[in-house]
Amino acid sequence: MPFLQKEKLFSLGWFKDYSYITIGSFILAVGFVFFITPHKIVPGGLFGIAIVVHYLTAGMFELWPDGFPIGLFSLLVNIPLTIAGIKILGPRFGVKTVAGFVLSSVFIDWVTYMRIDAEAPLVHDVLLSCIFGGVLIGVGTGLIFKSRATSGGSDIIAMIIAKYTGMQLGQLMIYVDSAIVLLGLAAFQDWQIPLYSWLAIYITGKAIDVTLEGVSYHKALFIISAKHEEIKEKILIDLERGGTIFQGRGMFTNEEKQIIYTVVSRREVAILEKFISQVDPDAFITVMDTREILGEGFQSLKLKVDD
């Protein structure tokens, strides 16, 4: 049974995962109800379709005069979609995924019901709503992902298409979300909606990355210098950092060279560059941003996986 992990019921890991799912689902719901939905922004996914349906069905149901509930619509579609996904793709979607989309749907309708005026945005600035809504949805989705669950919805559609077409899943998810955004354009006849929607999708993706990987203040350096021993001592003794030395060969000179690879903080980059400029002004240095550093001296890989 691929992609499913057995977890002891009511263990510490079980409580952590379901806490992530519950908190993440609530944060996601707040992002939609207060910032995204009132401006008719359609940020892809099944909830994006639900927003379109909600506004198109306004006044059609006596029980829901403002339109078919977004959470209920998502839930009604997600259940058969997940069943189809299990039949076509195999048991890739566990109980946590079901809990994720059920709680998200319930929280969206509950928060909407608790608001005095559910259709009114918290702020009237659409750009500000895109930013804060995208961040909240991204953080909420990221917490759900941290529990090793999926968000269901359009992800399952993309997986099914990928199975029969052989296309890359990442590309298909972009195509599916873009098609949903264009559905919002067709429904509301307003070019601002897809533009703001794509902005919200971008911000959501960045917020998911930050939630999963954290914010890194470290830089990775490749240093090529004839004074590699002095630089090595500086890194090991003064900065108390580690590193790796590679053997290299110059393409033009064909000379053997020592290449130092190390990871340091932003403050230590300035210290190291100042030192290298003094001992070897002709050194070649490449400084790169890092997204996530796992291993000795940084975040523990085991603790992150167990978290």
Average pLDDT of the chain to the nearest whole number:
85
On whether residue 136 sits in a domain, the answer given is yes
Final residue before a domain boundary, out of 162, 197, 213: 213
pLDDT at 149 over 90: no
Whether 42 contacts 48, CB under 8 Å: yes
pLDDT at 1 over 50: no
Closest CA to 140 of 30, 216, 17: 30
> How confident is the model over 234-290, as pLDDT tens digits?
999 988 888 999 998 888 888 888 999 999 888 889 899 999 999 999 999 999 888
Look up the pTM and report it: 0.77
When divided into structural domains, the chain yields a total of 2
Those residues whose C-beta lies under 8 Å from the C-beta of residue 181, and which sit 6 or more positions away, are 42, 43, 44, 48, 194, 197, 198, 201
On whether residue 148 sits in a domain, the answer given is yes
Those residues whose C-beta lies under 8 Å from the C-beta of residue 69, and which sit 6 or more positions away, are 54, 109, 112
Whole-number pLDDT of residue 296: 63
**Which band of pLDDT confidence, cut at 50, 70 and 90, is reported for residue 223?**
very high
Q: Is 179 helix (H, G, I), strand (E, B) or coil?
A: helix
Whether 182 contacts 110, CB under 8 Å: no
Which tokens belong to 22? 């519950």
Q: Counting every residue, how long is the chain?
A: 307
Mean local confidence (pLDDT), 62-75? 92
Instruction: Look up the domain containing 107 and give its range.
Output: 12-213
If asked whether residues 192 and 226 sit together in one domain, one would say no
On whether residue 16 sits in a domain, the answer given is yes
- Provide the angle, in degrees to the nearest 10, between the axes of the packed helices 154-165 and 70-89: 30
Specify the CATH number for the domain of residue 302.
3.30.70.120
If asked whether residues 55 and 76 sit together in one domain, one would say yes
Q: Of the ranges 28-32, 141-145, 176-180, which is most confident?
A: 28-32
261: β partners:
222, 244
If asked whether residues 163 and 116 sit together in one domain, one would say yes
pLDDT at 5 over 60: no
